[in-house]
Amino acid sequence: MLARIQRGDVEAHYRAHWLLYSLLEDHFALRCQWYRGPKQALAYLAQHAPATYAAFALALAPGAPRSTLDALVDLVTSIDG
């Protein structure tokens, strides 16, 4: 998905938003944890995984650089993240 986002066309922008949306749920699924929706998930991350919460905050900010999305994907998909 990250490679397709690099194209910079309208589909790439759509995929970037799609990826941001799905990464929160993916974070919990990859750790075999129950995803309780964005409000509770973000609150949980703020308390129990502040680095991951901070990465989401950076990547979700309006006009965030692409590097924040790359870093978030790496963090979510890492075993220790």
Per-residue pLDDT of the chain (81 residues; tens, 9 = 90+): 777 788 878 998 899 999 999 999 999 999 999 999 999 999 999 999 999 999 999 999 999 999 999 999 999 999 764
Helix axes 50-60, 38-48, angle to 10 degrees: 130
The per-residue pLDDT for 74 is 95
- Indicate whether 37 belongs to any domain: yes
Q: Provide the domain limits for residue 45.
A: 23-81
What stretches of the chain show up as alpha helix (H) in DSSP? 2-5, 10-30, 38-48, 50-60, 66-77
Domain count of the chain? 1
The per-residue pLDDT for 49 is 95
- Indicate whether 80 belongs to any domain: yes
